[in-house]
Each structure stands twice: as structure tokens, then as C-alpha cells.
Amino acid sequence: MKTLLLITSVLLVLSGCSSAIQTTTQYYQFEQPIESSSRNVSETSAQLRVQTVVLRGALNNLGIAMKIDNNQIHAANYHLWGESPDVMLTATAQQTLFKNMPNWMVIKGLPVITELDQQTFYELEYEIHHFNGDMQGNADISGLWRLYYTHPETGRRLISVHNFSSVLPIKDDGYDSLVATLEQTWLNINLDVAKAIEQAQL
């Protein structure tokens, strides 16, 4: 009886080890190349605060999302984001906008500052409804962005709302290509946002 229990225990341990080897977890994140740059408030015409990106439901999980059917999203068990998607998307948005809006002081959202001249600012809010791959071989980022203006005398007011939908084909199979395409899609969205804000007569 002891021998049978010992053999069973050894087999369970071996099967557990082999399954752990077969299901290695992979972590991904946007490359987010950062170039050295600096900007003084005195050299800019306005401040833009990028608020933390909001993702709907299961899209803000570490598991990379795949759209299986019209009403079904699957989060991967072994292909995970290296950081929370909302944090990653916010950091990338701020970097892209900072680089492409040279007349603006683009920062990640901060609490209201007591300096009077810094209590006048614009705010950018993203609400992401799709942030996933799909079974047709596409990367999909869709949602909306809102632009607000805050002034100490008049308060906060909504300036504009913009819906967007960007679906790009993935070049190769696998999560590496999906992540790279999602990053390129997000870059394109933020370039469009930068252009729209720059061209608006604010």
C-alpha cells in the first residue's frame, strides 16, 4: 500500500512538472520607444492633461483579449500584458502626444495645482470599447475620446466628443504580431488625436 501511494505521488509530481513546462506564460508590452526631450511651460501655449485610459470590462485584464464571436471575448491564460493595459495605453498616449504637439505641455493627469495660471488646462479622456484581436486576423481598437476645458472662473466644460474605430490586419500569426499591430493602431489613433486638437480653433 505504501509503495502504491509513493508511486502515485511521484506520478502526480511528474505530471505537474511536465504540464508547467508545456504552459509557459509569455508577457508582452508595447515597445514605447522614448526619445530624450524636454519642454518648459513658458515655451508652450496650453496644457493638456491625458487622463488614465478607461477600458470596458474584461479588456483591462492582464490576459490579452481575443474576440471569439459577436458577444464573446476570451482573455488568454498564458499570453499576458506585462502591465495593466490602462497604464500602458496612457503612457503611450502621453508620449505620442508630447512628441507631436510641440506647442503644448502634455502631461499625465494631475490633481489641480494651486498656481492660478496652471488651473487653466485642457483634458483628454479616452474610453476604449475594443482592445483585442479577432478570429479574422485583425487588431481592433475602438472607442471614443473627449476633450474638456477647465478654467478657474467658468469651471469644466466639454468641448468635443469623437468616436473612432481602427481595425488593422495582423501581418503574421501569433501574439507577438497581434501586440505589435495593436501598438501601431494605438499610435495611429493618437497621431489623429494630436492633429485634430492642433487644428481645432481652441
Q: Which residue has the cell 478570429?
A: 135
pLDDT band at 71 (very low <50, low <70, confident <90, very high): confident
Q: How many domains does the chain have?
A: 1
What pLDDT, on the 0 to 100 scale, is given for residue 190?
97
Bridge partner list, 165: 142
Domain range for residue 83? Answer: 2-199
85-138 pLDDT, tens digit each = 999 999 999 999 999 999 999 999 876 565 666 678 999 999 999 999 999 999
Give the tens place of pLDDT for each residue, 146-182. Answer: 999 998 888 999 999 999 999 999 999 999 999 999 9
Full DSSP string of 70-119: TTEEEEEEEEEESS-HHHHHHHHHHHHHHHH-TTEEEEE--PPPSSGGGS
Given this model, what pLDDT does residue 109 score? 83
21 pLDDT higher than 70? no
- Report how far residue 190's alpha carbon sits from residue 96's, in angstroms, rounded to the nearest whole number: 7
Stated as kind and residue range, the H or E segment containing 170 is: none
Could you tell me the pTM of the whole model?
Answer: 0.84
Query: What's the pLDDT score for residue 89?
Result: 98
**Where residue 8 sits, what CATH number does that domain have?**
3.40.50.10610
| Residue 7 in this model has a pLDDT that exceeds 70 | no
Largest CA distance in the chain: 84
Span 21-48, average pLDDT: 85
- The grid coordinates of residue 89 equal 495605453
If phi over 0 gives left and psi between -120 and 50 gives alpha, with beta otherwise, what is residue 6?
alpha
Instruction: State which amino acid sits at residue 170.
Output: I
Compute the average pLDDT of residues 49-61.
94
Q: What per-residue confidence (pLDDT) applies to 2?
A: 55
